[in-house]
Amino acid sequence: MSFDGNDDVQEAVIAEIRNFKDDILGNNIKGDGAIPHFGKINIKMSENAKNALAAATRNHLSEVIKNKMPSDEQTKEILDYISDVQTGLIKYRRKTFTELAEKYKAFSHLFDNQIIRAFVISRKYFDIEKFKNFLAYIKVLNLDFMNILEYSSNGNEFVSQDDFLGYINERIMFSSQIKQIIEENPDEKDLYSNYLLEMTYLSLDKFSRNRLLISEIITAPCFQQFLEMDRPQSPCSFNSYRNQMQNFNKLSDDQGLIPLANFKYACDRTFSNAFCTRLFEYSVTYDGCLDFSGYLHISTTIERPEEFSQMYFRILDVDGDGIFGPSDLLYFYEGMCDEIGKISVSFDTLLQEVLDNMSAHQVGVTYQEFESSGNISWLIDILSNIEEFKVYVGA
């Protein structure tokens, strides 16, 4: 994608297009028809249009991203072919896009009916301005896709953890600011790279398959944060990494590892001994201690367990039978009773409330019930955090 001007201007333009992502892909469409950055459209988007846009994003984006993209001149030709009015709404004619698909066969994926329908309002009008910005964003995504594709060990649209780490190691050196910091602190490069891997690839690989679609990575919010690593407030900035490292160092021993006893007061909470033990059993440890990567995996997920539901279900499923049942709950209940003494809430009362909040259909919670309950954070909070459990039981 070419822009007039120097590299800084080009990067600024690309960054701005990336920032439009949610709006361009329809994720921020409000019920009154207001679309941030694009103002207010005259006709509300129908539910069908919203659903079509969501479907286009979900089902077709990966196919669109990896295909050939039109040049800037060809993009102008395409938009002129649709209409000489390149702003606002125009009359929708499906025939126009059928003709475009035939005329520009190399880019026919851009005129797929599912894609085009995403920009049709009330079956009569086509939002050409939004489509124009969609094309700009897709072309930026295509650049991201091709850059990461170079690191795919299989040469296809999937990358492994090691593949993406290679991309990270190269990408961070493109930032003059971070490059200077790393050159002054070379021993921190690997630590920072692993931090970025945790914040991006590993946060998306929730089932530990070590195989992610490039399109899944580059359309995720964490990838946008990764690209904004120069911004101090970004979760992927060197400042954010340093803050996490300082928290880690406060808890680690002389070997640079966190023993279980020290982790009890990590992540701005007081972990129960029982939950701490299960966290360490689940995590990769060294002589029973966490390294920096292990610490990051917990500290970056504990505040959003619903996004890592499988991980936290496995932690709760003490006996490993695939059901969070009475014996599993009793493990945590008795452990916390040992720490805080006698409590007023009986085990049976807690069990019934857990079953109700998880919408369980038996005396035990399946993973499917756990995932769809909407109460994962509630359960993790009271079973992991002694202070939250005290509030719950009135201790």
Residue position matching structure tokens 């125009």: 90
Q: Are 89 and 127 in contact (CB under 8 A)?
A: yes
Local confidence band at 4 (pLDDT 50, 70, 90 cut-offs): very low
pLDDT tens profile 243-280:
999 999 999 999 999 999 999 999 989 999 999 999 99
Rg (CA), the chain: 25
Local confidence band at 19 (pLDDT 50, 70, 90 cut-offs): low
pLDDT over 50 (residue 392): yes
Closest CA to 276 of 292, 293, 294, 254: 294
* pTM (predicted TM-score): 0.71
Handedness of CA 379, 300, 304, 56 (dihedral sign): negative
Q: What are phi and psi of 127, to 5 degrees?
A: -85, 90
pLDDT tens profile 211-228:
999 988 988 888 989 999
Q: 169: buried, middle or exposed (CB in 10 Å: 19+, 13-18, 0-12)?
A: middle
Q: Cβ neighbours of residue 45 under 8 Å, at least 6 residues apart?
A: 29, 33, 53, 121
High-pLDDT (> 90) share of the chain, %: 51
High-pLDDT (> 70) share of the chain, %: 83
pLDDT over 90 (residue 393): no
pLDDT tens profile 308-346:
899 999 999 999 999 999 999 999 999 999 999 878 889
DSSP letter string over 33-64? SEETTTEE-SSPPPHHHHHHHHHIIIIIHHHH
Q: What angle do CA 352, 381, 309 make, to 5 degrees?
A: 85
Q: What angle do helix axes 273-282 and 326-340 make, rounded to 10 degrees?
A: 130
pLDDT tens profile 62-97:
677 777 889 889 999 999 999 876 667 888 899 999
Tokens read off for 125: 């009008």
Q: Do domains 150-241 and 255-393 have the same CATH topology?
A: yes
CATH fold group of domain 255-393: Recoverin; domain 1 (1.10.238)
Exposure letters 231-268 (e unless 16+ CB within 10 A, then b): eeebbbbbebbbebbebbeebbeeeebbbbebbbebbe
> pLDDT higher for 58 or 148?
148
Local confidence band at 135 (pLDDT 50, 70, 90 cut-offs): confident
User: For position 366, what pLDDT does the model report?
Assistant: 95
CATH fold group of domain 150-241: Recoverin; domain 1 (1.10.238)
Kindly list the distances between the CA atom of residue 355 and the CA atoms of 24, 302, 320, 327, 363, in Å, as whole numbers in the listed order.
41, 22, 18, 13, 7
**Structural domain boundaries of the chain?**
7-144, 150-241, 255-393
pLDDT over 50 (residue 5): no
Q: What is the pLDDT averaged over residues 187-192?
A: 92
User: For position 44, what pLDDT does the model report?
Assistant: 40
pLDDT over 70 (residue 171): yes
Residue position matching structure tokens 């599993």: 328
Tokens read off for 182: 């790393």
Closest CA to 194 of 291, 265, 268: 291
Closest CA to 339 of 282, 279, 383, 369: 383
Closest CA to 216 of 170, 175, 280, 157: 157
pLDDT over 70 (residue 302): yes
Q: Give the 3-state secondary structure percentages of the chain, helix then strand then coil, rounded to 5.
A: 60, 5, 30
Half-sphere exposure of 237 (CA within 13 A, CB side): 11
| 67 vs 110: CA distance, rounded Å | 9
